[in-house]
Amino acid sequence: MASSNNFLLHAFVWLALATTAFSLSPKFYDKVCPQALPAIKKIVQAAIHREPRMGASLLRLHFHDCFVNGCDGSLLLDSTSIFETEKNARGNLNSVRGFEVVDQIKAEVDRVCGRPVVSCADILAVAARDSVVALGGPTWKVLLGRRDSTTASKTLADSVLPSASMDLSSLINNFKNQGLNQRDLVALSGGHTIGLSQCAIFRNRIYNATNIDPAFVKRA
């Protein structure tokens, strides 16, 4: 278990660093709004208590945000006349969810801080950590101080987000392009085991592959 936790921690340390070059610190909000992180944690815990699947959804939001130009909150932006939202990318459309929880967190954090202080990018990062912890996983210090993006790129999201149709070698290369290794791939992919997936995405592999435990296939 300790080894698996180390894999997960390593992966999310990378996600914490996959952002702009501004100075980041786990204590970034300690003086300007010490109530911010407890407020995020409280709402995340309540959301997961209502629906355990939400933990996986919040984790995935951070994951998919970071893969496109770093952890900048660009996934949260809706389409404008200038760009199309990343929510419409192949890896996100009708798939990413949890935006209403993020909106709730943002409203509460702005309230307890007295003004908009915490970036949406940081909210995604902290919510991902708090989700993993709430579901019984490891914890880690989240580096804070990200700045939110003012633009998004569906085109880039389409090209860099891992696809459900990728085989192992393609996934390894996809993660390698993001500076991640095979252990990171296992850790982040493992996050999908606490959520739900559309059967059409993997049904063909379950029933036609020759290297799957027959007992598992029977249960599926």
E-strand spans in the chain? none
Q: How far apart are CA 164 and CA 90, in angstroms?
A: 10
Nearest to 122 by CA among 78, 85, 72: 72
Burial of 60 (0-12, 13-18, 19+ CB in 10 A): buried
Q: Is 64 a catalytic residue?
A: yes
Catalytic residue among 10, 49, 62, 64: 64
Assess contact for 60 and 195: CB atoms under 8 A: yes
Task: Look at the block and give the residue holding tokens 């708090």.
Answer: 130
Task: Look at the block and give the residue holding tokens 């063909």.
Answer: 204
Assess contact for 189 and 29: CB atoms under 8 A: no
Catalytic residues: 64
